Amino acid sequence: MATLPDTAPLARASAELSSRNGRKPLETPSVLPAWLRAQSINLTRHSAALRPFRREEFGASPAAPSEGHIQVVNKLISSLRHGLLKMSKNVAVASAHASRRPTAARLHRVVVHKDRAHKWVRGIEKIWDFYFELFGQRQSMPYGEWLLSCDRIAMDCYQAAYTGLGAARSIPAPPPFAFMRTGFAPSTIRRGIPVRRIGKQLNPFPLIQLPYHRLINPWTLGAVMHETCHNLQSELGLSKAVPHRVALRLLNAHMGRFVASVWTRWNREMFADMGALLLGGPEVLGSLMDVVGRAPSVVFAFSPRGVHPIPYLRTLISVELLRRMGFQDEAKHYESAWKRVYPDPRAGNIPEALLKTFPEACAQAVDAMCYQPYKSLGNKSLAQVIRFQKKDQQMIEEGARRLAAGVDPGIIPERFLVGASRVALNRRLVRPGVIAQNFYKELVRR
């Protein structure tokens, strides 16, 4: 049976060596005072480590987060750190009192203050980690440049919407910020809403989450316009007005309460689709079909609580808007292609009432959402605020030829480059890799 070694000789030798060197051996401090002191030190250092960000620590490239993004995040962190520093002081004072006279009550006070403070620390750390990860993505190439390009597309969407208003509105700041995360579908986190990932604090600027597979295929980035329009619906004061208008229109058209309720529930996703199409033109519909073109069991599936239009109908809703925008031939081609892939909508569980009323309900909903004036838009309609015309499509097609040739596409708006890349892909003007390379090269250059 193994026995523990006798450590006494080692201790005597160590003491003898210390005395020869003229030093007394270190005394072992009492456990309790040392532990109490460490609690205060640990918390103080942890609090100090959750410091505000500095812009330069994320690099000096154009892809780095802007000063505006850094400032609003730091404001959020600093407001929470103020409370944490008070808690740290409480722990330090309680530890000092307990060290002088370690009664049960004083020791209890130390651990209670410590526990409260550490819960607060974890909350701030969650926020700090979240934005550190987002900002840190901008340091890696080519990902930083890809995300910067998406920022610029989203900014162009905001500029198009706000300069088209019939009356001035306060300028939103900071602008949207793109980040990459694995997954199938893009998403957004709107400005000013509580976010679970940051402890239900209010998100200080719009975040646009993009999967990697979208970024490597820029002709699918109609998703940036879609997600940006979710934010525009809120910031343009249309979050309540649009669903109210759609519901009222369908009820007045005798579509029935069930049909009206379903279309009203779809309003946010439909608005994002409509806004993206108005911003980017016909090629955005191809990008949408990339998303919703899945197995028939998915495309023909109806969810009673779903906020997205049924995939089969979702494409046809955009076809209706495309027709209203004056692109009748393009609308016809998209509709024909879609119905060839999905010829039998009754193969799923789509309610008969939705299918039967769809042509009329769709026309009414698109008109109510896009072609009627809204007070918050300066008594303009959405289609008047964000205008896409035949001349804009010609610009996109010329941009496609220039992208393919690797020459300067000129003053074409950033959002039109998504359509240009898709035209170049569809017409096989050049290899897909060259399109992607020239697409990002142009957006980063700006």
Q: What average pLDDT does range 349-378 have in this prediction?
A: 98
Cα–Cα distance for residue pair 358/361, rounded to 1 Å: 5
403 and 417 in contact (C-beta within 8 Å)?
A: yes
Per-residue model confidence as pLDDT tens digits over 142-181:
999 999 999 999 999 999 999 999 999 999 999 999 999 8
Confidence of residue 185 (pLDDT cuts 50, 70, 90): confident
Higher pLDDT, 295 or 77: 295
Phi first, then psi: what are they for 298, rounded to 5°?
Answer: -90, -45
- So where are the chain's domains? 33-138, 217-390
Residue 6 pLDDT exceeds 70:
no
Q: What average pLDDT does range 365-386 have in this prediction?
A: 98
- Closest by CA position to 321, among listed 267, 264, 363: 363
Write down the pLDDT at residue 55. 86
Residue 18 pLDDT exceeds 70:
no
Q: What average pLDDT does range 118-130 have in this prediction?
A: 86
254 and 210 in contact (C-beta within 8 Å)?
A: no
Residue 247 pLDDT exceeds 60:
yes
Residue 288 pLDDT exceeds 90:
yes
Higher pLDDT, 150 or 44: 150
Residue 432 pLDDT exceeds 50:
yes
For the residues of 116-163, what is the DSSP string, one character each? HHHHHHHHHHHHHHHHHHHHHGGGSTTHHHHHHHHHHHHHHHHHHHHH
pTM of the model: 0.87
Phi first, then psi: what are they for 397, rounded to 5°?
Answer: -70, -40
Write down the pLDDT at residue 141. 86
Q: What average pLDDT does range 254-267 have in this prediction?
A: 98
| Helix, strand and coil percent figures for the chain, each rounded to 5 | 65, 5, 30
Cis status, amide bond into 243, omega within 30 of 0? no
The dihedral sign for the CA sequence 239, 245, 248, 251: negative
Confidence of residue 428 (pLDDT cuts 50, 70, 90): very high
Q: What average pLDDT does range 90-115 have in this prediction?
A: 88
Residue 23 pLDDT exceeds 70:
no
Q: What average pLDDT does range 377-403 have in this prediction?
A: 97
Grouping H, G, I as helix, E, B as strand and the rest as coil, residue 24 is coil
